[in-house]
Structure 1
């Protein structure tokens, strides 16, 4: 299984990896956010880390594109809460 940060780099077919940054729509909340695949350190998704269990939980949600930082944080929290169940 790929790490979540790598999974987040999948680009829709109309996007190209050469673009420095662009607005994407989060498939979970449908809000727009800036994606910056050419400078991943400046991308919003690089500001969060995940345990292996959290990565597996997010992967099971079957999102096929980048998620916004708000949704990533929510899913991380849900995964942490379910770990205790």
Structure 2
């Protein structure tokens, strides 16, 4: 018997890069995006620009942008 839970399918589409990913907000475990900390201004700007969740790669890019006005962390 296999007790390992199946990996969720990447069924979501990132509105920033159009890449596919799995949003884990409804999962039992915390979503991977909870490891990325964005300041309140960046979060507000993202809510205005995009509907839905961004993929982890895009969130990390926004957090480490070389331009401080884009960084958001």
* TM-score, normalization by structure 1: 0.54
RMSD: 2.9
- Quote the Cα distance in structure 1 between the aligned partners of 2:28 and 2:34: 7
Structure 1: which 5+ runs fail to align?
1-19
The structure 2 residue matched to 1:59, chosen from 8, 23, 47, is: 47
Structure 2: which 5+ runs fail to align?
1-7
**Correspondence 1:26 to 2:14:** yes
| Count of matched residue positions in the alignment of Structure 1 and Structure 2 | 63
Moved over 4 A (4+): none
Q: Cα distance, 1:41 vs. partner?
A: 4.2
Q: Cα distance, 1:21 vs. partner?
A: 6.9
Structure of higher CA gyration radius: 2
* TM-score, normalization by structure 2: 0.61
